[in-house]
Structure 1
Amino acid sequence: MEIKERSFNNLNATLIKTNKFKTLSFQVVFLGEFSKETATKRSLLTKLLSTSTKTYNTKKALANKLMDMYDASFSISTYPSGETAVTAFSLTIVNEKNLGVLGLTKEALEFLQEAIFNPNFENGLFQEKYFHEQKRILRERINNIYNNKNRYALRQMLKNMAPNEIISVSSMGALEDLEQITNQDLVNLYQRMLSEENVSLYVVGDFEEENLLQDLSLLGNFNSVSNQYQTVLTQEVKVEKVREFVEKQNIQQTKLMMGFRSTINTKSKLYPAALVFNAMYGGIFASDLIRVVREENSLAYTIVSQFMNDVMVLIVSAGIDRDKYQLTTDLVIKELEYYKQGKIDSVLMAIAKESIINELIQIEDNPYLLSGFALRNYLHGLKYSVNDLIEIVKAVSETEIQEVAQGINLDTIFLLTGEDHDG
């Protein structure tokens, strides 16, 4: 595998040459503002842009075009990283080398250029039919979060934990904002995306660099600017007092969410140690929380921890019986205290490292993971290779894990429980 950085058409390009895959993957990524004011608009905008273009002006026409390109895969996604919105146009085709045909790469890049620069406008606006249809679909998706109790509990916990912070904003959007969005709002955001956002390109597959660079010129010229927004949060939040919130619904299994503040973000020197800590604490099946809370004390049906490193937050989520709330939270806190005291299980640490290393090894076996890894480096100004990170994970010490734990403090507990809960 060979990775090269190139600049052309006013954008940064990462070219990952490998013969592991029979496909050629392209990803054009825009970096802009993620905020309460823009999140719902951007969510709706990506749905509209992925539905049709000016040339392929119906969903069927767009789908037929992808089929004509030997069943190519196309998608547009958006998600936050700190205060930055990441919007990715992704296209994967069968490598024409494996088909014995010429011109497919050019055809695919012309399609990608069309998807980015030639939206399905009518009189300067998105076609009203698709605007209202996608607005309705997004409204249904947002409403359906209520029926997914794990996702709903997490969103409610984050809203209560940090009502005035970026972590409380959903990238899917909010109903109260969706209803106010006009067609012109989306056109304005789209135009700002093209003129005011940072743009980068990622290519994964087997290619000849000179030929590829010629073909990539078909994407046209971009007006890429420096990203103005933080890709990770850096301000440590001091916990004054642990807050508890209870919401009652007609449900059987209680959902427990515990939000912890952390001092670690993705750029931190201790980030690899945080990966190991999280795996040991509640991130893998052999973790302490599963062993102590679920297996030894039978308090939880499920329990898991996850780091949101770009916003310096650790989440512990569990499905429990409503009368097991206090015992469960006590044990979660107690296990964290053991780490803070330096009581580290070396056998579990080795298992956690092996689990993380296996995940890292798999990155090089998947084109989407490879481009995602390169994008993560670009986002955060890092220079890791997969092998670099593997070696760093191997070298993580018990002292570093203890240091990570000492920077983690419980902030908020949210309980979604049955209507007859006495708490």
Structure 2
Amino acid sequence: MKITKETILEKDGYRLHILPSKKYKTMNIVAKFKAPLKRDGITERALLPHVLQKATNQHPSVRSFQAAFENLYGTALSSDGSKKGENHVISFRMEVVNESYLNDNEPILEEAFQLFHNVLFDPKTVENGFDPEIVEREKQTLEQKITSIKDDKMSYANLRLMDHMCKGEPYALHVHGYQEDMSSITPESLYTYYQQMIKQDMLDVYVIGDMDEKDVETLTDRYFHRSGSTNEDNDQVSVSKEVQDSSEIIEREEVNQGKLHLGYRTYTKFGDDDYYALQVFNGIFGGFPSSKLFMNVREKHSLAYYAASRFESHKGLLLVFSGVDPKDYDQAKSIILDQMEAMKNGDFTEEQVEETKEQVINQLKETMDNANGLIEVLYHQMLSGIDMPADQLIENIRGVTKEQVVQMAEKIKLDTIYFLTSHEGGEE
């Protein structure tokens, strides 16, 4: 298996990634804007994708904007914001039908590029700012989203764990922004921030599908060039705190089910030599239904409604999530900590290592079978400064030994135990 050939070209204000592939019946165009995570402006960054997706100067009404997409055979546009280590990435994704599958000779791809250009570089403006109605509506929507995190107790517990564990580090910043910022954001101030983002963010453009590479390069040059932008890499190096003592935080809210979340530091990031051992470690520890957390905390002792772990590739964190009855807090915590000790002691079989490697590989293949998944894998690589074909990634996972998994476990340090509970459970 091999990732489709990726051609990377440094362009005027952006970096172009061309991925020719006959596997997909659609063309996918993805634009990624990256900037260092900062408290100042993070709410504007969370708000911008929603505002940009509502209208352009060429299609100023909701109806004409939607019609522009429908006329392109239902071309779809989506966006999101995410944290990659100490950096904030806004992704815009457009999926458009491949014109070679259509009977007429309509230049669908060029029209899609033009529409994408209008969304990103010519959004609807009123005088010196965005459309006030759109901004007000999207502010309300974002406020609801921020409020809803409080209602989703699993997401809320994870947010609070990060607040405590990464206090003082950019990674603690909330990717959806802050409610208290809303009142000071005006159509003008948001537009000023937008102009700064468009000019200063590192921009990567990915195009994947069955294409003529030269045609695509011509289109991206026409519609994505940013004159005046240097497109210098603005990467903010990830902070890796040395853990002296772990802390235990208990917070009380009205919850039906206690949320017990643990944060560990792995001191391993995407691109490091032992990253593949971390993938296998996580699979055995808590990444799959066959894992130690699932089997011991949930199945064997029936202490958790769910118990799993995942790792943050660019920050070097391992996070454990579990939902437990408040009265079972001490026992559940003890069993989770025991599973980590078991990993450090090599209390797992060679057979488990082999099974988990296959699960990790299958997961990776599944991700790369999807156009957007493949782009994410390649973007991860680029952020880490490594360039590796898929078969090499898979070989690296296959090469992980039990001894390497144990060495990985020994590196991992418990940073914070966080428990969200209604009343009983745990001590103050």
TM-score of the pair, normalised by structure 1: 0.95
Matching residue of 1:17: 20
Q: Name the CA distance, whole Å, in 2 between partners of 1:391 and 1:202.
A: 26
1:287/1:348 contact within 8 Å kept: no
Equivalent-residue separation in structure 1 for 2:339 and 2:368 (angstroms): 34
SS in 2 for 1:85: strand
Is 2:283 the counterpart of 1:279? yes
Q: How far did residue 104 of structure 1 move? A: 0.5
SS at 1:267 equivalent: coil
2:345 corresponding residue in structure 1 = 341
Q: Alignment partner of 1:80: what SS?
A: strand
1:64 maps to which of 60, 67, 79: 67
Q: Which residue of 1 aligns with 2:58?
A: 55
**1:250 alignment partner in structure 2:** 254
Is the CA contact (8 Å cut-off) linking 2:280 and 2:397 kept in structure 1? yes
Distance 1:210 1:137 in 2: 41
1:131 pairs, out of 125, 132, 135, with 135
User: TM-score, structure 2 length as denominator?
Assistant: 0.94
1:283-319: CA deviation from partner (whole Å, max 9, x where unpaired) = 0000011111112212111100111122221111101
Of residues 3, 6, 9, the one that matches 1:3 is 6
Q: Which residue of 2 aligns with 1:416?
A: 420
Amino acid at match of 1:34: L
Residues of 2 paired with 1:94 and 1:186: CA distance?
33
Is 1:40 matched up with 2:38? no
1:225 matched to which residue of 2? 231
Secondary structure in 2 matching 1:51: coil
Q: Which residue of 1 aligns with 2:217?
A: 213
Between the aligned partners of 1:376 and 1:239, the Cα distance in structure 2 is: 26
Query: What do residues 80-103 of structure 1 show as CA deviations (whole Å, max 9, x unaligned)?
Result: 212222122221100000113331
Q: Return the alpha-carbon distance in structure 2 between the equivalents of residues 90 and 240 of structure 1.
A: 42
Measure, in 1, the Cα distance between the counterparts of 2:273 and 2:62: 46
| Cα distance, 1:149 vs structure 2 | 0.6
Residue equivalent to 1:79: 82
Unaligned runs of 5+ in 2: none
Instruction: Confirm or deny: 8 A CA contact 1:199 1:224 kept in the other structure.
Output: no
Secondary structure of the 2:168 match is: coil
Distance, in Å, in 2 between the alignment partners of 1:276 and 1:422 is 32
Larger mean CA deviation between 396-405 and 275-284 belongs to 396-405
Residue 152 of structure 1, aligned match among 150, 156, 161: 156
Measure the CA separation in 1 of the matches of 2:375 and 2:166.
32
Match of 2:383 in 1: 379
Change (3 A) 1:71 1:351: same
3-state secondary structure, aligned to 1:370: helix
Judging changes above 3 Å, is the alpha-carbon distance between structure 1 residues 325 and 422 closer, same or farther for their aligned structure 2 residues?
closer
Where does 1:284-299 land on structure 2 (aligned, <5 Å)? 284-299=288-303
Tell me the distance in 2 between the aligned counterparts of 1:83 and 1:422.
32
8 Å CA contact retained: 2:286, 2:292: yes
Change (3 A) 1:89 1:251: closer
**Matches of 1:34 and 1:101, distance apart in 2:** 46
The separation in 1 between residues aligned to 2:240 and 2:216, in whole angstroms, is 44
SS, match of residue 44 in structure 1: helix
Q: Secondary structure of the residue that 2:215 maps to in structure 1? A: helix
In structure 1, distance between residues paired with 2:403 and 2:33: 39
| Matched ranges for 1:85-124 at <5 A | 85-102=88-105, 103-124=107-128
Contact 2:19 2:207 in 1 (8 A): yes
Looking at structure 2, the residues matched to 9 and 101 of structure 1 have their Cα atoms a distance apart, in angstroms, of 33
- Deviating beyond 6 angstroms after TM superposition, the runs of 4 or more aligned structure 1 residues are none
Contact 1:106 1:218 (8 Å CA) reproduced: no
Q: Deviations over 1:19-70 (max 9, x none)?
A: 1111001112221122221221100111111111111112222211111000
Conserved 8 A contact 1:286-1:348: no
What letter is aligned with 1:225? N
Query: How far 1:421 sits from its partner (Å)?
Result: 4.5
8 Å Cα contact 1:43/1:171 also seen in 2? yes
2:240 equivalent to 1:236: yes
Shift of the alpha carbon at 1:239? Answer: 2.1
State the AA in 2 paired with 1:77. Answer: D
Counterpart in 2 of 1:193? 197
- Deviation track 1:125-171 (CA, whole Å, cap 9, x = no partner) reads 00111111111111111011111010011111111222212222111
SS of residue matched to 1:377:
helix
Rounded Cα–Cα distance in structure 1 between residues aligned with 2:57 and 2:99: 26
Q: In the alignment, which residue of structure 1 is the partner of 2:360?
A: 356
Identity of aligned residues (%): 25
Q: Aligned match of 1:143 in 143, 147, 162?
A: 147
Aligned residues of 1:14 and 1:374 also touching (Cα < 8 A): no
